[in-house]
């Protein structure tokens, strides 16, 4: 393993004491390993939420024991053992909350299917507890908020346990050029659990690694463009970027409201559906239920088959399997985004970064050293040996000088252009072929972590869904040199359940999660 910047130790608390392949035969072995064992050995490793729900209901397991198990898993391989650095802070109240929820269950008071299940949150999601909300930045170290993000309040009401805050690419990978995905000042360099010298991608690196490495049952990441899709693909887990606006963005440290959204990151599709059901708004639920129907025809994008042999093998298998299930497959060899989409997107992101982050810092009472963007820039410059030694803060600097009033007309034109270009691009594929979904390789395999050159992306396909706000689901469906490869399922707005149904069908064919070896 390569040397990474020294990670800050997880804040002390009493609680913290406490050659896989895609073949169906290998998956069967993995799933056997993931199944809950008898009470005698109490094996919880890589369990599914469905298994855990049943064991809790049968009285074979308590939420307290479940939380204790994940705390011990974090202690074993987060900063020790495999040194994956997926977690920044553990909730010091997690065990006591679990005990309370166990008492409620014993009294017959089960709040929801999420009752007593632990969830890890990306560290840019506000919580009104003893877990700092920091975006991984030193300037916000220890920053506690007095208000939960709306999605967190929803989860608490349903009985979910906020277990920990996950490491991420600092400021959701919108600080500067040449960044290394998964690195933050507070969390250090997160690592890929399948090959520790390789990237976990980002920015929701820790959330993906946490579930892949069995640090949590469930996790939540956030996406602006690829920040759920890439780490889900590269870490071999399920990632969901929901339809724009279907999950409240209140309380999330923003890049840009036009594209930011939180979504589930889990080992299994069932678990992602369960978590998404607990996160979405009532309005979104009604829209999604109205579009819940089985996929009959899909567009399979084969534009990346010549990049890696594993990608070609994956798309070939996907096409044959879908056809065997009675789904018509239209194969398309091109994926060329519209000209001007990238320029429009970055203009929108910079404008809204200035507008939205400035407001969050006020609303969530950031400390004086992080009162606004200029203050954060100064802090980083004054502590450049710690904060800027790997890469810069160009995005902050570009956003900070924007005059929001003078730039408004240009911004609004860019916003409209980006949404039109991206939506028309996807609609043409879906409508021309009368398809229910687009099936496309998500990203290439993980690349080596390189703190001198930064990330060396091979290819990625998240932008069209990110800018348009269309939903996408990523699931592991192949491998390249033993590294996971993901496929994304993209559909029209509010077809989230349909995409998850399709993902679950792929999972049943031997695609989906296979545990890493952490030794």
Task: Report how far residue 312's alpha carbon sits from residue 462's, in angstroms, rounded to the nearest whole number.
Answer: 19
Cis peptide leading into residue 74 (ω within 30°): no
* Residue 166, in any domain of the structure: yes
Q: Mind listing the pLDDT tens digit for each residue in 55-92? A: 999 999 999 999 999 999 999 999 999 999 999 999 99
Distance between CA atoms of residues 224 and 175, nearest Å: 14
Any catalytic annotation for residue 180? no
Residue 355 is assigned to a structural domain of this protein: no
**Residue at 502 is within a domain:** no
In a domain, 135, yes or no: yes
Instruction: Compute the average pLDDT of residues 228-252.
Output: 98
Task: Please report how the helices 269-279 and 496-508 are oriented relative to each other, as an axis angle in degrees rounded to 10.
Answer: 160
The answer to the question of residue 421 being in a domain is: no
Q: For residue 255, tell me if it sits in a domain.
A: yes
Q: What is the DSSP string of 36-58?
A: ---TTT---TT--HHHHHHHHHT
- Of 493, 488, 492, which is closest to residue 503 (Cα–Cα)? 488
In this structure, what CATH number is given to the domain that contains residue 60?
Answer: 3.90.1300.10
Rounded Cα gap, residues 230 and 91, in angstroms = 27
Determine which one of 180, 203, 358, 422 is catalytic.
203
Q: Does residue 214 surpass a pLDDT of 80?
A: yes
Average pLDDT (116-141) is 98
Encoded tokens for 332: 């398309």
Tens digits of per-residue pLDDT, 278-332?
999 999 999 998 777 788 999 999 999 999 999 999 999 999 999 999 999 999 9
**203 belongs to the catalytic site:** yes
Q: Are 259 and 422 in contact (CB under 8 A)?
A: no
* CA 221 – CA 231 distance, rounded (Å): 9
Tokens of 38: 């008898």
In the set 48, 63, 122, 205, the catalytic residue is 122
Residue among 180, 184, 227, 295 flagged as catalytic: 227
Structure confidence at residue 509 as a pLDDT band (50, 70, 90): confident
pLDDT at 382: 98
Average pLDDT over residues 500-505: 96
CB 199 within 8 A of CB 440: no
Question: What is the C-alpha to C-alpha distance for residues 433 and 330, in angstroms, rounded to an integer?
Answer: 7
Q: What's the confidence (pLDDT) of residue 42?
A: 64
Q: Is residue 403 part of a domain?
A: no
- How many C-beta atoms lie closer than 10 Å to residue 479's C-beta? 20
List the domain range (segments joined by +) for residue 63. 26-290
Confidence of residue 519 (pLDDT cuts 50, 70, 90): confident
CB neighbours of 19 closer than 8 A, spacing ≥ 6? 482
Beta carbons of 92 and 129 less than 8 angstroms apart: no
- Tell me how many domains the chain contains: 1
Residue 292: the pLDDT is 73
Q: Is the residue at 94 inside a domain?
A: yes
Task: State the residue for tokens 């996790």.
Answer: 219
- What is the per-residue pLDDT across 136-187, written as a single tens digit (0 to 9) for each? 999 999 999 999 999 999 999 999 999 999 999 999 999 999 999 999 999 9
Residue 394 clears pLDDT 60, i.e. is over it: yes
pTM recorded for the entire structure:
0.92
Give yes or no for residue 205 having a pLDDT over 50.
yes
The answer to whether 249 touches 148, Cβ cutoff 8 Å, is: no
Q: Is the Cβ–Cβ distance between 164 and 123 less than 8 Å?
A: no
């Amino acid at each position: 393993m390569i040397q990474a910047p020294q990670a800050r130790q997880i804040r002390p608390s009493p609680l913290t004491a406490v050659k896989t392949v895609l073949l169906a035969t290998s998956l069967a072995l993995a799933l056997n390993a993931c199944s809950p064992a008898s009470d005698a050995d109490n094996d919880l490793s890589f369990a599914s939420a469905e298994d855990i729900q049943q064991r809790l209901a049968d009285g074979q397991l308590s939420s307290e024991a479940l939380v204790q198990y994940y705390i011990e898993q974090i202690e074993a391989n987060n900063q020790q053992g495999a040194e994956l650095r997926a977690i920044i802070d553990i909730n010091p109240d997690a065990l006591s909350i679990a005990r309370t929820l166990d008492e409620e269950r014993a009294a017959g008071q089960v709040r929801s299917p999420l009752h007593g299940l632990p969830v890890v949150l990306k560290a840019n999601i506000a919580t009104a507890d003893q877990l700092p909300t920091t975006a991984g930045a030193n300037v916000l170290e220890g920053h506690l908020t007095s208000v939960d993000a709306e999605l967190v309040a929803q989860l608490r009401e349903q009985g979910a346990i906020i277990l920990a805050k996950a490491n991420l690419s600092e400021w959701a990978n919108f600080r500067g050029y040449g960044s290394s995905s998964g690195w933050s000042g507070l969390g250090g360099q997160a690592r890929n659990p399948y090959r520790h010298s390789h990237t976990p991608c980002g920015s929701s690196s820790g959330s993906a690694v946490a579930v892949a490495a069995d640090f949590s049952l469930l996790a939540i990441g956030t996406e602006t463009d690829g920040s759920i899709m890439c780490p889900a693909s590269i870490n071999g887990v399920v990632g969901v970027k929901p339809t724009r606006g279907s999950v409240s963005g209140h309380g999330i440290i923003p890049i840009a409201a036009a594209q930011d959204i939180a979504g589930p990151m889990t080992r299994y599709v069932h678990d992602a559906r369960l978590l998404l059901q607990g996160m979405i708004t009532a309005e979104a639920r009604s829209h999604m239920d109205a579009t819940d129907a089985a996929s009959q025809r899909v567009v399979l994008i084969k534009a990346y088959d010549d990049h890696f042999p594993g990608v070609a093998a994956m798309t070939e298998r996907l096409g044959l399997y879908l056809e065997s299930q009675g789904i018509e497959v239209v194969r398309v060899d091109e994926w060329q985004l519209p000209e001007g989409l990238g320029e429009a997107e970055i203009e929108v992101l910079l404008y809204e970064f200035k507008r939205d982050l400035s407001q969050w810092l006020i609303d969530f009472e950031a400390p004086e050293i992080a009162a606004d963007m200029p203050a954060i820039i100064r802090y980083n410059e004054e502590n450049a040996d710690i904060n800027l030694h790997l890469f810069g803060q160009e995005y902050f600097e570009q956003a900070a000088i924007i005059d929001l009033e003078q730039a408004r007309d240009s911004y609004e034109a860019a916003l409209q252009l980006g949404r039109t270009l991206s939506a028309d691009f996807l609609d043409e594929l879906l409508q021309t072929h009368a398809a229910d979904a687009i099936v496309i390789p998500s990203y290439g395999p993980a690349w080596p972590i390189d703190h001198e050159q930064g990330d060396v992306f091979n290819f990625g396909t998240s932008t069209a869904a990110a800018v348009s706000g269309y939903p996408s689901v990523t699931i592991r469906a192949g491998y390249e040199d033993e590294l996971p490869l993901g496929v994304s399922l993209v559909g029209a707005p509010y077809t989230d359940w349909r995409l998850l149904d399709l993902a679950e069908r792929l999972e049943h064919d031997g695609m989906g999660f296979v545990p890493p070896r952490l030794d």
